[in-house]
Amino acid sequence: MRWKKTVTMIEAHAEGEVGRIVTGGVLDVPGATMLEKMNHINQVDDSLRRFLINEPRGCAQMSTNLLFRPTHRDADAAYLILQADKAHAMSGSNSICVVTVLLETGMVEMIEPETIVTLETPAGLVRAWAECADGKCQRVTLDMTPSYADQLDAVVRVDGLGAVNVDIAFGGIFYGLIDPAQFDLAIIPENARKLVDIGCRVHRAINEQLEVCHPELEGLNGISYTMFVGHDPSGTMKGATILPPGRIDRSPCGTGNSARLATLYQRGEVKVGEKRVARSIIDSEFEISITDTTSVAGKTAILPRVSGRGWIHGIHQIGLDPSDPFPLGFMVADCWGDAFGLLK
């Protein structure tokens, strides 16, 4: 074997959503802060992202997380989320995977019954409380970054769909929140392909027609995902986040539900301290709530809390042979979709 690059990862998932954690083979990415490191991957050199994410070394249904030494003195570890389109600033499910891996592999000492881990992300610090017993990280509760409603009841024109009502909100990244009742669709697995198609089309329309820009974090422009927000027959919150180039998040989605809570708070439909359950398209669950309010550049914002479970399910090592004709991999539309032209 004559690999010119070797990367070792721990495989984990949070309530069904796979978040691989790179534990060896990547030393650093240029940038003095996590935000600068993210922008370097997105604006200067994304070869590492493509190597890790694309086939044959990656697949559509996953994220890959890069661990770094923190640049903030109050953080225990720092990380970036790599996905099919770019590096993203924050993710609840990936944060749960990262904390679970850090503790269960001993990279951060596990203290029972509770370990506090502070993660540094491009969107800010995320404080995690891990419930631990018998060497297992049983549940991770995240105090997420400040979240706010950016545009309520916005309307975009979508080819083939006409006028679509959306809310734009920030939950660590920007979301376009869509009520699936507009299309007479329930959030169930058999509707996944229809939801992906509509969600991707609305995503493109939002970024073409609406101005979305974080007032304080450079590089966080435009929405990252759309999310269908509804309820199941019991009245429990149900959601389906649509990720480029065309798939559904298997978890209930931490940043998406943070954005959703921000819109509910703005409308007076949820109170500080009120707990909710959020379910994914596969009925996995996060517990969500608002711990307090704050402000972001003069906008009313909330401090969301998200709680869920993560599991390690494997160890994975990949490499690059010098003669491999696909050093940065490839994507094919049968699995990945191509709603955003990423396969060109």
Domain CATH code at residue 131: 3.10.310.10
Indicate if 199 and 321 belong to the same structural domain.
no
| Average pLDDT across the chain, whole number | 96
Q: Identify whether 91 is a catalytic site residue.
A: yes
Residue 341 has pLDDT above 90, yes or no: no
Percentage of the chain modeled with pLDDT above 90: 93
Examine the domain organization and report whether 42 and 159 are in the same domain: no
170: containing domain: 148-307
Task: Indicate whether 185 and 111 sit together in one domain.
Answer: no
Within the chain, strands assigned E span 5-14, 17-24, 63-68, 77-82, 87-88, 114-121, 124-133, 136-143, 148-158, 162-170, 174-178, 225-231, 237-243, 247-248, 275-279, 285-296, 299-308, 310-320
Catalytic residue among 97, 132, 137, 253: 253
200 is a catalytic site residue: no
Categorize the per-residue pLDDT at 338 as very low, low, confident or very high, splitting at 50, 70 and 90: confident
Locus of tokens 């903030």: 72
When pLDDT is averaged across residues 301-330 and rounded to a whole number, the result is 96
pLDDT in tens, 122-168: 999 999 999 999 999 999 999 999 999 999 999 999 999 999 999 99
- Pair (84, 183) in one structural domain: no
**344 part of a folded domain:** no
Domain membership of residue 31 (yes or no) is yes
Do both 182 and 103 map to the same domain?
no
